[in-house]
């Protein structure tokens, strides 16, 4: 052959020159020396150069119309082609080393197999998912949907390819669905978009949908959950809550009424105490008038003095009625009021009883206080009166001879703090956790709603706080009220 020097140095290629009877005439290529094939190849034949299996493959290849054949030889892979030189009765075999390419191909085949396996796994997960999963184009048309979605909407996959997420929506949700698709494309995703879908049989279906846009494929993944039962449950729950709220409201109104009745009973008792002294005084004056009438001369100035004293007693009794009437007047709207004045109003209603039981009540307050708060003045007076009445009854129950009730008013950051402290022996440990419970009482004839309603008034009606603790030889009730800054 010509140019044998060039052929001897060709990389990755082996050229076998042989006669038509398969006798090896020459070997060319850089790999020949590396594989030591140029030694003693004389008189060798093709069958002695390759193993039997490879030789049979080459012989078969000569008989076919194939262009090339990949063989394995000396731990390498070669792409085999051949050329017949009829005039010289020579056959040239060209073996190109494709080992590297073959390894790459094997890796690609392995990766492809793994991908196909993963695809099958994902397809199984896709179809067994407990939510409807579908793939849409940018117009919302269905490209694919899993079995769950098909069963949920009652459509086959073939039927779905002619539909869109917009066409399956109820009329009022058609435009919002279109907007949701556009937003998913614009922002990348949209979550928990709720709407009503219509199944193939015309049944409305409440659905929650999340959409994610895949820019690389220009497709949208949509996950759909049937929330029809959830909506029904929420509606049922709302009705139950409404019924329960109505019951509690009615119960609260009954307790408010009971609280006022209980307070009214205490107030009537207080009125009796308030009126007893002036009525006795009036009785004595009337008896004195009988003796004066028997005298020949009546001192006009003395009569005027008696008249003034009678009118003073009557005014006191009238003022008492006015105080009690104001106490039971229901406040419908919040108003700004002075808590010191309200506390004094409450004390005035029970002052006589306190004196009868030899109980001293003092009000102390820090200087330069803003005493105005927003709330219900009459309800606040009811709370203070209840606190003082409870303190008085506690002091009486332990037969304390030197009863004391101290009311301290001070500023606590943005709150006005009122402390009512007594020396009535305090509250037992077992009763402390229940002290504000409705219908809980330690009194023989108590209603058990006074402290409960006081807490409701302060905390629910006036956004404040009412707490209690034992202190020294008595109890301390603390009221915290927010002030407008």
Q: Which residue carries 């003073």 as its tokens? A: 312
pTM: 0.45
Query: Among the residues of 205-227, which ranges form H helices?
Result: none
Query: Domain 4-97 adopts which CATH fold?
Result: Beta-Lactamase (3.30.450)
Taken in order 149, 150, 154, 158, the sign of the CA dihedral is: positive
Q: How far apart are the first and last CA of the chain?
A: 110
**Residue 200 φ/ψ, nearest 5 degrees:** -60, -35
- Give the closest residue to 462 by CA, choosing from 382, 388, 364: 382
Query: Among the residues of 328-376, which ranges form H helices?
Result: 339-356
- CA-to-CA distance for 57 and 53, rounded, in angstroms? 6
The four Cα atoms 118, 119, 124, 126 give a dihedral, to 10 degrees, of: 110
Q: What is the CATH number of domain 253-482?
A: 3.30.565.10
Each domain of the chain, given as residue ranges in start order, spans: 4-97, 129-226, 253-482
Report pLDDT for 198. Answer: 93
The four Cα atoms 446, 452, 457, 462 give a dihedral, to 10 degrees, of: 150
Q: Taking a C-beta distance cutoff of 8 angstroms, is the pair 36, 12 a contact?
A: no
- CA-to-CA distance for 79 and 16, rounded, in angstroms? 13
pLDDT in tens, 7-18: 656 778 888 888
Q: Taking a C-beta distance cutoff of 8 angstroms, is the pair 170, 196 a contact?
A: yes
Angle between helices 228-293 and 339-356 (to 10 degrees): 50
Report pLDDT for 254. Answer: 62
The 10 Å CB-count burial string (b at 16+, else e) for 269-301 is: ebbeebbeebeeebeeeeeeeeeeeeeeeeeee
- CA-to-CA distance for 376 and 333, rounded, in angstroms? 7
What is the chain's alpha carbon radius of gyration, rounded to the nearest angstrom? 52
Shared fold status for 129-226 and 253-482: no
Sites in the chain below the pLDDT cut of 50: none
Between the alpha carbon of residue 64 and those of residues 58, 81, 91, 370, the distances in Å are 10, 12, 16, 112
Report pLDDT for 2. Answer: 52
Between the alpha carbon of residue 462 and those of residues 254, 284, 327, 359, 465, the distances in Å are 20, 47, 17, 30, 9
Please report, for the chain, how many H helices and E strands are present, in that order. Answer: 13, 17
The pair of structure tokens assigned to 469 is 């603790």
Sheet containing 204-214, strands listed edge to edge, beginning at the edge strand earlier in sequence: 142-145, 132-136, 219-226, 204-214, 189-198
Q: Taking a C-beta distance cutoff of 8 angstroms, is the pair 43, 76 a contact?
A: no
- CA-to-CA distance for 467 and 352, rounded, in angstroms? 28
The secondary structure element, H or E, covering residue 469 is: strand 465-471
Q: Which residues contact 346 (CB under 8 A, 6 or more apart)?
A: 327, 381, 382, 384, 385, 388
The pair of structure tokens assigned to 358 is 């030899």
- DSSP lists the bridge partners of residue 30 as none
Report pLDDT for 367. Answer: 86
Q: Which residue carries 């949920």 as its tokens? A: 152
- Multiple choice CATH, 129-226, 3.40.50.2300, 3.30.450.20, 3.30.70.1230, 3.40.50.150: 3.30.450.20
């Amino acid at each position: 052959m010509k140019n044998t020097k060039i052929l001897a140095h060709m990389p990755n290629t082996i050229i076998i020159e042989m006669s038509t009877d398969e006798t090896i005439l020459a070997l060319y290529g850089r790999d020949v020396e590396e594989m030591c094939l140029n030694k003693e190849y004389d008189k060798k034949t093709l069958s002695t150069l390759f193993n039997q299996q490879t030789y049979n493959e080459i012989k078969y290849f000569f008989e076919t119309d194939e262009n090339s054949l990949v063989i394995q030889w000396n731990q390498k892979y070669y792409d085999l082609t051949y050329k017949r030189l009829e005039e010289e009765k020579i056959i040239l075999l060209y073996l190109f080393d494709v080992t590297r390419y073959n390894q790459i191909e094997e890796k690609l085949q392995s990766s492809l197999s793994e991908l196909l396996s993963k695809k099958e796994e994902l397809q199984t997960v896709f179809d067994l998912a407990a939510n409807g999963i579908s793939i849409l184009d940018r117009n919302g048309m269905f490209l694919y949907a899993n079995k769950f979605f098909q069963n949920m909407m009652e459509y086959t996959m073939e039927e779905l390819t002619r539909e869109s997420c917009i066409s399956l929506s109820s009329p009022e949700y058609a435009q919002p669905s279109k907007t949701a698709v556009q937003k998913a494309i614009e922002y990348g995703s949209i979550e928990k978009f709720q709407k009503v879908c219509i199944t193939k049989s015309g049944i409305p279906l409440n659905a929650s949908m999340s959409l994610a846009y895949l820019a690389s494929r220009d497709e949208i993944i949509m996950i759909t959950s049937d929330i029809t039962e959830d909506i029904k449950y929420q509606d049922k729950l709302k009705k139950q809550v409404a019924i329960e709220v109505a019951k509690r409201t009615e119960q609260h109104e009954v307790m408010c009424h009971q609280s006022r009745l209980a307070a009214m009973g205490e107030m009537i008792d207080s009125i009796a105490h308030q009126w007893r002294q002036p009525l006795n005084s009036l009785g004595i004056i009337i008896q004195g008038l009988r003796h004066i009438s028997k005298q020949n001369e009546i001192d006009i100035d003395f009569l005027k003095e008696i008249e003034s004293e009678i009118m003073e007693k009557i005014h006191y009794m009238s003022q008492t009625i006015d105080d009690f009437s104001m106490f039971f007047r229901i406040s419908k709207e919040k108003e700004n009021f002075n808590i010191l004045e309200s506390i004094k109003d409450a004390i005035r209603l029970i002052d006589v009883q306190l004196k009868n039981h030899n109980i001293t009540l003092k009000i102390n307050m820090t200087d330069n206080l803003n005493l105005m708060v927003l709330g219900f003045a009459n309800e606040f007076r009811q709370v203070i009166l209840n606190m003082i009445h409870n303190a008085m009854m506690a002091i009486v129950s332990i037969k304390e001879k030197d009863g004391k009730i101290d009311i301290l008013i001070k500023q606590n950051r943005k709150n006005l703090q009122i402390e009512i402290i007594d020396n009535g022996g305090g509250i037992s440990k077992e009763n402390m956790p229940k002290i504000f419970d409705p219908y809980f009482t330690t009194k023989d004839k108590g209603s058990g709603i006074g402290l409960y309603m006081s807490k409701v008034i302060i905390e629910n009606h006036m956004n404040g706080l009412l707490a209690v603790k034992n202190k020294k030889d008595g109890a301390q009730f603390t009221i915290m009220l927010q002030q407008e800054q």
